[in-house]
Amino acid sequence: MALKSRYKQDLNFSSASMSDLVFLLLIFFILLSTMVSPNAIKLLLPNSNSRTMAKQNYTVYINDQYQYFVEQTYVEGADLEAEIHALTRENPEATIVLRVDKTVPVQYVVRVMDAVNTVNEQTGHKLKTILATAPHE
């Protein structure tokens, strides 16, 4: 007497659920990477209690050797105006974040602010400048 099974087993592998999982992981990592803003230039920021949140379009760094970096590209102090003008040409109402090491004298910060003000006067832009700080420990 030969018994036949009612349900036949399918030996083919369906990868539909695997592709769904891969797409979910891809979306997760894309969203996660846009939320993380790594600082390639190591700075000790000054401490502050204020928490000003603004849309940060561009970043100017001044490290502890008093070197200027516009969006992680080294720039001489004399070329700050030209570099900021070239960077903000498409976005005339951008916000520039100053990330300055806390050992840097104020004169270097003022030089960046003067460069932004000069660009505003020459081009009619409305660039804003904010100073990044670290929270009190």
pLDDT, position 30:
86
Q: Which domains does the chain have, with CATH numbers?
A: 47-135 (3.30.420.270)
pLDDT, position 92:
82
Higher confidence at residue 14 or residue 112?
A: 112
Q: Other CB atoms closer than 10 Å to residue 116's CB: what's the count?
A: 22
Amino acid at 65: Q
Q: What are phi and psi of 14, to 5 degrees?
A: -100, 120
Listed in sequence order, the residues at least 6 apart from 87 whose beta carbon sits closer than 8 Å to its beta carbon are 58, 70, 71
Over the stretch 37-74, which tens digit does the pLDDT of each residue have?
Answer: 555 555 555 555 666 555 667 888 998 898 999 888 89
Q: Note the pTM of the prediction, 2 decimals.
A: 0.58
